[in-house]
Amino acid sequence: MTGHRHLPWLLCLLLGGCVSTESWEATRLLQDIDAAGGPSTLKEVTPAPRRSTLHYAVAGRPGLADLYEPGQTRGGALVLVPGFTEAGKNDSRVVELARSLARARFTVLVPEVPGSRELRVRLEDKQTIADALRFLKEQRPELTRRGVGVVAISYAAGLAMLATLELNAAARPDFLVGLGGYHDTTAVVTFATTGRYRAPGERKWQRGHPLKSAKWIFLAGNAAVLSDAEDRRRLEALGRECFHGCDPDVAALARDLGAEGRALLALITNDDPARVTELLEALPESVALRLRGLSLKGRDLAPLAGRLILIHGRLDPLIPYSESQALARAVPGTELFLIDGFSHITPRGVGWAGQLQLVSAIKALLQRRRELP
Q: Which residue among 294, 316, 334 closes a domain? A: 294
Distance CA 23, CA 359 (A): 7
Question: By mean pLDDT, which of 9-13, 22-26, 230-234, 261-265 is the weakest?
Answer: 9-13
Across the range 213-220, mean pLDDT stands at 88
Q: Given a cut of 90, is residue 211 above it in pLDDT?
A: no
Is there a domain that residue 317 lies in?
A: yes
194 backbone dihedrals φ, ψ, rounded to 5°: -115, -15
Whichever domain contains 74, its CATH number is: 3.40.50.1820
Residue 194 maps to a domain:
no
CA–CA gap between residue 166 and residue 201 (Å, rounded)? 28
Residue that terminates a domain, selected from 250, 271, 294: 294
For the ranges 56-60, 71-75, 156-160, 328-332, the lowest mean pLDDT is seen at 71-75
Q: Is residue 1 part of a domain?
A: no
Radius of gyration of the chain (CA): 21
Q: Does the pLDDT value for residue 6 go beyond 60?
A: no
Alpha carbons 291 and 186: distance in angstroms, whole number: 8
> Domain check: are 328 and 283 in the same one?
no
Assess if residue 165 is contained within a domain.
yes
In-domain check, residue 12: no
Same structural domain, 308 and 166: yes
SS (H, E, C) the chain: CCCCCCHHHHHHHHHCCCCCHHHHHHHHHHHHHHHCCCCCHHHHHCCCCEEEEEEEEECCEEEEEEEEECCCCCCCEEEEECCCCCCHHHCHHHHHHHHHHHHCCCEEEEECCHHHHHCCCCCCHHHHHHHHHHHHHHHCHHHCCCCEEEEEECHHHHHHHHHHHHCCCCCCCCEEEEECCCCCHHHHHHHHHHCEECCCCCCCCEECCCCCCHHHHHHHHHHCCCCCHHHHHHHHHHHHHHCCCCCCCHHHHHHCCCHHHHHHHHHHHCCCHHHHHHHHHCCCHHHHHHHHHHCCCCCCCHHHCCCEEEEEECCCCCCCCHHHHHHHHHCCCCEEEEECCCCCCCCCCCCHHHHHHHHHHHHHHHHHHHHCC
Residue 17 lies in a domain: no
CA atoms within 13 A of residue 226's CA, in its CB half-sphere: 25
Q: How confident is the model over 133-182, as pLDDT tens digits?
A: 999 999 999 999 889 999 999 999 999 999 999 999 999 999 999 999 99
* Cα-Cα-Cα-Cα dihedral sign, residues 291, 296, 298, 301: positive
Has residue 96 got a pLDDT over 60?
Answer: yes
Identify the domain containing residue 274 by its residue range.
212-294
Report whether 210 contacts 317 (CB < 8 A): yes
Tell whether 69 is covered by a domain: yes
d(CA 174, CA 77): 10
How far apart (Å, rounded) are the C-alpha atoms in residues 186 and 277? 8
Query: How much is the pTM?
Result: 0.92
Q: Which of the listed residues 246, 278, 294 is the one where a domain comes to its end? A: 294
Residues in Cβ contact with 233 at an 8 Å cutoff, skipping those fewer than 6 apart: none
CA atoms of 135 and 137, how far apart (whole Å): 6
Domain count across the chain? 2
At 42, the pLDDT band (50, 70, 90 cuts) reads: very high
Q: What is the pLDDT of residues 285-305, one digit of tens each?
A: 999 999 999 999 999 999 999
State whether 68 and 116 are in the same domain. yes
What integer pLDDT is reported at residue 23 of this predicted model? Answer: 87
Would the pLDDT of 200 be above 50? yes
- Give the confidence band of 212 by pLDDT, cuts at 50, 70, 90: confident
